[in-house]
Amino acid sequence: MIEFENKENSAEVGAEIDESIQGQPMMVAPLSNGSKKLYLESYGCQMNFADSEVVASILSENGYSTTRNIDEADVILMNTCSIRDNAEQRVRNKLSQHNKRKKQNPELIIGILGCMAERLKKDLLEQEKLVDLVAGPDAYRELPSLIQEVETGQKAVNVLLSREETYADIAPVRLGKGGVTAFISIMRGCDNMCSFCVVPFTRGRERSRDPESIVAEAKDLFANGYREVTLLGQNVDSYHWNITKKGDVIDSEKPVVNFARLMELVAQVDPKLRVRFSTSHPKDMTDEVLGVMAKYHNICKYIHLPIQSGNDEILKKMNRGYTSEWYMNRIKAIKRIVPEAYISTDIITGFCGETEEQHQDTMKLMQEVGYEFAYMFFYSERPKTLAARKFEDDIPLEVKKRRLNEVQDLQHNLAFDAHQRTVGKICEVLIEGVSKRSKDHLFGRNSQNVTVILPRENYKPGDYVNVMVDEFTSATVSGSVVK
């Protein structure tokens, strides 16, 4: 099973039901090529889910099949997230439950992967003794040998970070249900040292994957019935191949590929293959990228552009690398070049030293942009980050939560208004599955990433249909098929 963390100190308003955010369990179709059983859990971001598909592929080549039944597992692996404290606490609670199983079955191997694994390896292995195996994000190729080491009675750990590893040669095992949408990891790591973020320390330096392998993966997915891919990276706009960040070409006999060109190459795989991407960084979002979005119908008109705060002093403390003016310049460029695009964002309330006036700056910017979706969190200090070393986490929890509630209420209204504007309009929807509310209805998303509910009739996942919107909420819209 793949299970995603439910972020208790966060909220999303006006967004589709995204299982990587909402914590809904995703059942895995068992792989049948191995005699040993692997139970795999994934917490946190879409990148972790993509990594879990790589892990499943590596272990399937070494005699393991995935299982839905945790009680028959020989190995339990938890792909973890360190972005907020409650994510770590939830993993610890789950590890305690798994260790109760281990008392009944001493041969059971329990391991953690990913960001939390790298950050808390000593605590979990030696002090709390909750795990047998620890593998960081760049050590998944070593999992078979690490498991073998545990089977000899030893503890096993590899959290070394790499400047080269991209897993480009590994075909991920698609674990999500439906077989319509899939993730393609185009790069790993991050060079943006945002003061609140642990990612550069847990995932290492930024490196981009060979574009040929990315396009080949997209072609393979389309040939196997998938109709949408999401290009993933901590900062997709900084993707670069065969060129240094200073602009020097590495090999003159090979083409230079930046993110705009990569997105175009994937869009050209087939007009019926939708292309999404996540996440963009405001300081790197270029007009060239926007131009490619506007050029291709199958590149979805949706951009996730985190602002974090609308106040320049707080942005500087966060080390975001842009001002609110720069950010608004990018917003204006999006609305000029891709006017039909929907824009979502991330917002952190209660960052170190944030005043009421600075909080209001964020509210004002939200209103000015008119976000269709937002992912909102109150600040959670993470050890070893620049913010933890340099600033005092001095905003009381009740103030953080109150500001978060105010941001949520505003975004609820913005999302409601955005969805209201869709009534009477026709949108193209890619059907993804049966609605959770009614077996007589299906759900899918339009280009703008809005979840659309429609009558089931004779349609099936993977079909494109045109829907006339006639009802809406702040989270979804619904309507009838235009034939």
- One DSSP character per residue, 337-390 reads HSTT-EEEEEEEES-TT--HHHHHHHHHHHHHHT-SEEEEEE----TTSHHHHH
Q: What is the pLDDT of residues 185-203, one digit of tens each?
A: 999 999 999 999 988 888 8
> What average pLDDT does the segment 13-28 reach?
35
Which secondary-structure segment (H or E) carries 101? helix 85-104
Is the pLDDT reported for residue 79 higher than 70? yes
Q: What is the pLDDT of residues 306-327, one digit of tens each?
A: 999 999 999 999 999 999 999 9
Is the pLDDT reported for residue 19 higher than 50? no
* pLDDT for res 188: 93
213 or 26, which is more confident? 213
Q: What is the pLDDT of residues 454-482, one digit of tens each?
A: 999 999 999 999 999 999 988 899 999 99
* pLDDT for res 33: 53
Is the pLDDT reported for residue 31 higher than 70? no
pLDDT interval class at 247 (50, 70, 90): confident
Report the C-alpha dihedral over residues 91, 150, 100, 23, rounded to 10 degrees.
30
- What pTM does this model have? 0.87
Average pLDDT, the chain: 89
Q: Are the beta carbons of 109 and 30 closer than 8 angstroms?
A: no
* pLDDT for res 13: 53
CA-nearest of 265, 260, 257 to 240 is 257
Place of tokens 């706009």: 237
Report how far residue 104's alpha carbon sits from residue 108's, in angstroms, rounded to the nearest whole number: 9
Is the pLDDT reported for residue 82 higher than 90? no
Is the pLDDT reported for residue 9 higher than 70? no
CA-nearest of 426, 461, 424 to 442 is 461
- Amino acid at the residue 8: E
35 or 443, which is more confident? 443
Is the pLDDT reported for residue 106 higher than 60? yes
What Å distances lie between residue 50 and 9, 44, 149, 169, 252, CA to CA?
Answer: 24, 11, 26, 14, 32
Report how far residue 354's alpha carbon sits from residue 349's, in angstroms, rounded to the nearest whole number: 8
Domains of the chain, CATH where assigned:
10-158 (3.40.50.12160), 178-242+250-297 (3.30.750.210), 301-420 (3.30.750.200), 426-481 (2.40.50)
pLDDT interval class at 10 (50, 70, 90): very low
- Measured from the Cβ of residue 246, the count of other Cβ atoms closer than 10 Å reads 5
Give the angle subtended at the CA of 320 by the CAs of 317 and 322, to the nearest 5°. Answer: 110
pLDDT interval class at 34 (50, 70, 90): low
Q: Are the beta carbons of 36 and 148 closer than 8 angstroms?
A: no
- In terms of Cβ atoms closer than 10 Å to its own Cβ (0-12, 13-18, 19+), residue 34 is middle
Q: What is the pLDDT of residues 248-263, one digit of tens each?
A: 888 888 889 999 999 9
